[in-house]
Amino acid sequence: MFATSLELLRFHWVAYTIYALMIVSVIAWFGWNLTRKEKVRSIIRIPFYGYMAFLIMAGVGHHIFTYNSIPWVEEDIKRHEIKPDRSYLIEVADHKWKMPKLVAKEGERVMFDVRSKDLTYGFGLFRKDGTMVFQMQVVPKHKNTLLWTFRECGNFDIVSTEYSGPAQYDKETGEDLMFVKDGMVVECKEKNEKIAMKE
């Protein structure tokens, strides 16, 4: 149902806004009843508890629904059965990335194997508007792999999403030295189809 993390975040924004307004309505109802001169009759309590039960079921149901509809959850659980289209080995040490040119095609599954030789880093892929596609923690002397299906195309920036000390930043400018502009290029499916048709 959700192709990208942006679609999921938009859905969550709407769902949680509605849910928050419903919870505020309970507080408003409670406050209104405190200001009334006559006490609330017991008959009114039944709808109140029913409404509370509905809120609980809606909250739990929302998480169950989104868990089953997020495409990368099932992919991560069954990753041992999935053969990636591309695999990249990325090494990081002394606040510097050592990696090949990262290229993929829209719809391809890519396995990122990121290895740290010294500190804990983060490996994050970001869109040009600053929103995150994905990220993972990179722990030294541990296996740090991430399988990702690219459902969107474009140029993405790579950033370390973990603070790994002041050496990560330039002393004079404050520039993040682990920021890689256009570190990952994902070619659009339409472009690939047009090239295939010409050939």
CA distance 39 to 33: 8
CA distance 144 to 3: 24
Q: State yes or no: pLDDT of 199 exceeds 50.
A: no
Mean pLDDT of the chain: 83
DSSP string, 165-188: -GGGB-TTT--BTT-EEEEEEEE-
Q: State yes or no: pLDDT of 192 exceeds 60.
A: no
Stated pTM of the model: 0.69
For residue range 133-173, what is the model confidence (pLDDT) as tens digits? 999 999 998 889 999 999 899 999 999 999 888 888 888 88
CA distance 91 to 68: 33
Question: Span 41-59, mean pLDDT?
Answer: 72
For residue range 71-88, what is the model confidence (pLDDT) as tens digits? 667 777 787 888 999 999
| 154-159 and 180-187 strand pairing | antiparallel
Q: What's the order of all strands across the beta sheet hosting 96-98? A: 96-98, 86-93, 109-116, 145-149
pLDDT computed for residue 98 by the predictor: 94
User: What is the band of 26 on the pLDDT scale with cuts at 50, 70, 90?
Assistant: confident
Q: If residue 65 lies in a helix (H) or strand (E), which one and from where to where?
A: helix 42-69
Q: Which residue has the higher pLDDT, 51 or 128?
A: 128
Q: State yes or no: pLDDT of 188 exceeds 60.
A: yes
CA distance 100 to 65: 38
Nearest 5°: the CA angle 56, 62, 65 is 135
Give the sign of the dihedral formed by CA 72, CA 76, CA 78, CA 82. positive
Q: Which residue has the higher pLDDT, 127 or 56?
A: 127
